[in-house]
């Protein structure tokens, strides 16, 4: 077999995930016009951004503090002790506007859009006809007939427009000039109260507030990528007002030691928050990644993927799941993983055994004092407490060439201050039912 051919069983996939353990790629990222720069791109560079990735065909800042000065772990300290601002303009905003907006949105998401009141948001998924997850955005309902999809990393705009070819629904579907930043950390509530007034303190989880920051029109949501109480500021007419709004936040943040940082993946992993394209993709069923609560039993209205998802649920309940692997949480040994993994590290069932699974999102959790990760393992190895072995690169392994012990554990790895629906159901004892 060639080196790209995966040794791990992926017979349930059409396109296997490349599990080649090739290490970091020593190339310079090309900056050119095929990839967009967000309204905050130059501002991020001024704030110290030294590396970036590409997300939604847009440059995405992924590091401000250099490794020799502490890197992502130093950025983490600002997040957990003070307050941080993240350039997340890559969360492109897709507007659905018109008399049939609710009906259209209800047709493309698995959850019930009719239960989302104006000025509230929800975490949702969109699936293809086979039940695969196409995107997992935060959905904002900013008015009775207006929704914004704050999208993860896939071209969902074109898919949404394609769904409505022939004008089945009376709506307009467009990307709009709205760019978000995230305000995250324990001092975020005080900073937001300074920026938009005391109403910020009363925004409920996934609630929205129409306001202004630095004289610029914004929508504020109590959402984020950390599981903590935090906010996102969605700037309208962002191309014109990015500098004005950004600088207003920087100025207001001085008393709180505000730092501009990259998205904190060590925190989102601890909260069990998935990253599309990394922990799931269009060939992943919601049932594989702890998102069964996104597939309601009582939604009578048709939606894309409903037939396939209901059939998959029946097969799972009959003991014949239509997939080989499922996503689990792992606590693992080794030296602290302090940066993004450049590969999907392999997992074996026994110390010297052949790989049977792979890690998708690993990092060291300072608060838990151990490496944590999400990863795919065969269903038979997904029971809590199962012992596994992870093949870390030598820089993180206890001994070069030797896998480290791992245990399957519950996700999220720690309770969230701002729990998602899955955590809420778990507390009620309702999360296990598929």
Lowest-pLDDT range of 7-21, 280-294, 323-337: 7-21
The pLDDT of residue 389 is 98
139 and 161 both lie in a single domain = yes
The pLDDT of 49-53, averaged and rounded, is: 95
Residue 367 carries which DSSP code? T
Mean pLDDT of 283-303: 96
Question: pLDDT grade, residue 428 (50/70/90)?
Answer: low
Region 246-266: mean pLDDT is 97
Same domain flag for 375 and 338: yes
Task: Write down the pLDDT at residue 419.
Answer: 67
Closest CA to 133 of 296, 266, 298, 308: 308
Q: pLDDT confidence of 211, banded at 50, 70, 90? A: very high
Q: Are 97 and 148 in contact (CB under 8 A)?
A: no
Q: Is 232 annotated as a binding residue?
A: yes
pTM of the predicted model as reported, rounded to 2 decimal places: 0.95
What are the beta bridge partners of residue 216?
213
Give the pLDDT of residue 23: 75
Q: What's the confidence (pLDDT) of residue 422?
A: 65
> Has residue 1 got a pLDDT over 60?
no
Q: Is residue 274 part of a domain?
A: no
Specify the pLDDT at position 131.
98
Q: Judge contact between 285 and 311, C-beta under 8 A.
A: no
| 347 within domain boundaries | yes
Under DSSP, is residue 373 helix (H, G, I), strand (E, B) or coil? strand
Q: Is residue 425 part of a domain?
A: yes
Residue 288 is classified by DSSP as G
2 token code pair = 């060639």
For residue 413, the cross-strand partners are none
34 assigned to some structural domain: no
361: pLDDT strictly greater than 90: yes
pLDDT at 344 over 60: yes
Same domain, residue pair 121 and 77: no
Within-domain flag for 275 = no
Domain-embedded: residue 312: yes
Q: Is the pLDDT of residue 228 over 90?
A: no
Share of the chain above pLDDT 70, in %: 94
Average pLDDT over all residues of the chain: 94
SS3 assignment, position 180: strand
Expressed as residue numbers, the domain containing 78 is 41-87+180-269
pLDDT band for position 167 (50/70/90)?
confident
- Tokens 């503090």: give the residue: 65
Q: Does one domain contain both 354 and 405?
A: yes
* Count of the separate structural domains present in the chain: 3
């Amino acid at each position: 077999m060639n080196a790209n051919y995966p040794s791990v069983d992926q017979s349930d996939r059409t396109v296997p995930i490349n599990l080649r353990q090739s290490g970091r790629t020593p190339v310079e990222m090309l900056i050119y016009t095929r990839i967009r720069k967000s309204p905050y791109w130059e501002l991020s560079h001024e704030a110290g951004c030294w590396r970036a990735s590409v997300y939604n065909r847009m440059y995405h800042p992924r590091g401000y503090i250099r490794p020799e000065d502490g890197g992502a772990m130093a950025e983490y300290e600002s997040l957990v002790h003070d307050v941080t601002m993240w350039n997340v303009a890559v969360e492109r905003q897709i507007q659905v506007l018109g008399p049939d907006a609710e009906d259209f949105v209800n047709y493309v998401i698995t959850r019930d859009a009719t239960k989302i009141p104006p000025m509230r948001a929800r975490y949702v998924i969109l699936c293809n006809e086979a039940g695969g997850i196409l995107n997992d955005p935060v959905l904002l309902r900013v008015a009775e007939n207006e929704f914004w999809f704050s999208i993860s990393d896939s071209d969902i705009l074109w898919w949404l427009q394609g769904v409505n070819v022939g004008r089945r629904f009376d709506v307009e579907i467009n990307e709009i000039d709205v760019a978000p930043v995230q305000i995250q950390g324990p001092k975020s509530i005080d900073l937001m109260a300074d920026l938009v007034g005391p109403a910020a303190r009363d925004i409920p989880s996934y609630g929205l507030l129409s306001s202004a920051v630095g004289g610029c029109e914004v929508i504020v949501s109590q959402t984020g990528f950390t599981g903590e109480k935090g906010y996102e500021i969605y700037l309208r007419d962002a191309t014109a007002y990015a500098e004005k709004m950004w600088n207003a936040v920087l100025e207001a943040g001085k008393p709180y030691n505000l730092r501009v940082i990259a998205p904190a993946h060590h925190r989102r992993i601890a909260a069990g928050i998935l990253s599309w394209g990394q922990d799931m993709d269009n060939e992943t069923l919601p049932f594989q990644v702890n998102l069964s609560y996104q597939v309601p039993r009582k939604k009578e209205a048709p939606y894309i993927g409903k037939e396939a998802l209901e059939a998959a649920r029946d097969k799972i309940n009959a003991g014949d799941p239509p997939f080989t692997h499922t996503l689990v949480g792992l606590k693992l040994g080794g030296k602290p993983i302090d940066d993004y993994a450049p590969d999907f590290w392999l997992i074996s069932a026994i110390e010297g055994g052949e790989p049977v699974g792979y890690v998708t999102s690993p990092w060291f959790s300072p608060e838990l004092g151990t490496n944590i990760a999400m990863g795919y393992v065969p269903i038979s190895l997904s029971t809590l407490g199962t012992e596994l072995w992870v093949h870390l690169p030598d820089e993180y392994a206890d001994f070069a060439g030797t896998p480290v012990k791992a245990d399957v554990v519950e996700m999220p790895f720690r309770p969230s201050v701002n729990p998602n629906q899955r955590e809420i159901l778990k507390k009620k004892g309702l999360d296990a039912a598929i």
